[in-house]
Structure 1
Amino acid sequence: MQYTVSASVFLAIIIFVRLRRRTESRSRVDETLTVLSAATFGILIATTPLGQAVLHLVGVAADATH
């Protein structure tokens, strides 16, 4: 049996672990790395059906606020 791991799932796990840490102990470089990994995750997930669904929901929410 062979398992595959998606890069976006792996990156989501890393972001989840990094965000669970206390904010007082973060350095500026650590915060920058978290932001860059979150932006990369957003780019990776944007082309998936889940990303398209999130985009649609955000669009509906934005239209409802106008």
Structure 2
Amino acid sequence: MILTLNVAVLLAVIIYFRIGRKGQFQSKANQWTTVFIVLVFGVLIAPTGFGQGILAVLGNVVQSISAAGSP
């Protein structure tokens, strides 16, 4: 039996547990580590179909907000 693990899924689990500790104080180094992990996760998920769908939805939201703000 071969077990494969997607790196993006692993990073999503790590992000969930790192951000889930809301009651604890974090050092600056710990915060920067979390930011780095989230950025790597974003780079890994961006070329996938799911990432492209998120990009399309966010693009539509930003476009509608900018259209509502212009006279």
Task: Report the TM-score, using the length of structure 2 for normalisation.
Answer: 0.86
Once residues 63 and 57 of structure 2 are traced to their aligned partners in structure 1, the CA distance between those partners, rounded to angstroms, is: 10
Moved over 4 A (4+): none
Q: How big is the alpha-carbon RMSD for the aligned residues of Structure 1 and Structure 2?
A: 1.1
Structure 2 unaligned blocks of 5 or more: 67-71
**Structure-2 residue corresponding to 1:12:** 12
Identity %: 33
Q: Which has the higher helix share?
A: 1
Q: How many correspondences in the alignment?
A: 66
Structure label with greater radius of gyration:
2
Structure 1 unaligned blocks of 5 or more: none
